[in-house]
Structure 1
Amino acid sequence: MSQGKLSPRQKMINLMYLIFIAMLALNMSKEVLSAFGLLEKKITNANVATSERNVAFMESLSTMALEQPEQYAAVKRKADQVSEISATLDAYLGDIKRQMMTTLKAEDFEDFEVQDQPDFLDQR
C-alpha cells in the first residue's frame, strides 16, 4: 500500500478524505442523542438502587464494627474513606451536570435531541 513518495495531488486527496471522515464522525444523529438520554435514565435508576444497597451495607458494617471492633474496625474506617471519596466525586460530577443543564431551556431537559448544541463545553 505504501509506495514511498506521494505526489502533492495525492497528498491533498488523502487529506480531503481524512477531513471528510472526521466531519462524518462529528455529525452525530439525533437518534444517537435519544439513545444516550435513555441510557442516562437507566443508569440514574440503577444508581439509586445501588445507593440504597450501599446505605444498607454501611449500616450493617457499622453494627458489626460495634459488636466486633477487632475484626471490623479497620474495614469500617476504609469503607468510610471510600464513601467520602465517592461522595465527593459524585457531588463534583453532579455539579458539572447541573452547570451544563443551565445552558438549556427548562422545556428541553427531557428532549435529548435538542441537546446537541455544544454551548457549555465551548465556553469552558
Structure 2
Amino acid sequence: MVKTVSATRLLKLGKRARKLGSSAIGRPAWTEAHSAEIKDVVLVAICPESAWGEPHTCWRCYVGTSTKESGVVAFTIDIEMSEFDRLDTVTDPWTLAEILLYPATHLPIDAR
C-alpha cells in the first residue's frame, strides 16, 4: 500500500521517528527548506524496522517527493505501523508514476 502526506505532516512524522530513536528520520532540514515547493509526497513501506531493539514496531519507508523545482527527491523514514495504517492512501496513479517511475533507470531497447 502506498500512502501520501503533506510536507507539514512529513516533518511531524520525522520528529516522531526521532523521539522513538529510529535511525531513519526523513530529511527534516531539507523538507523544511523546500516545503513550499513540494507538490506530492508518497510513502512506500519497504521492510519492518525496530527502534532500539524493540519488536518490529515501524515500517522503514521510501519517501518520494515531487517538487516544483528540484524534480523528484527520495529518502527514507521510519513510521510506526499503526500510524502508517492511518495515513491516506494514494489514489491518483499519475502521482505515483511521477514519483516512482521518473527516477528509475530506463534501459535502452534491445535491438536484437
Measured against the shorter chain, the TM-score band is under 0.3
Q: Which structure dedicates a bigger proportion of its chain to helix?
A: 1
Q: Greater relative contact order: 1 or 2 (C-alpha under 8 angstroms, separation 6 or more)?
A: 1
TM-score by length of 2: 0.22
Structure of higher CA gyration radius: 1
Higher strand share: 2
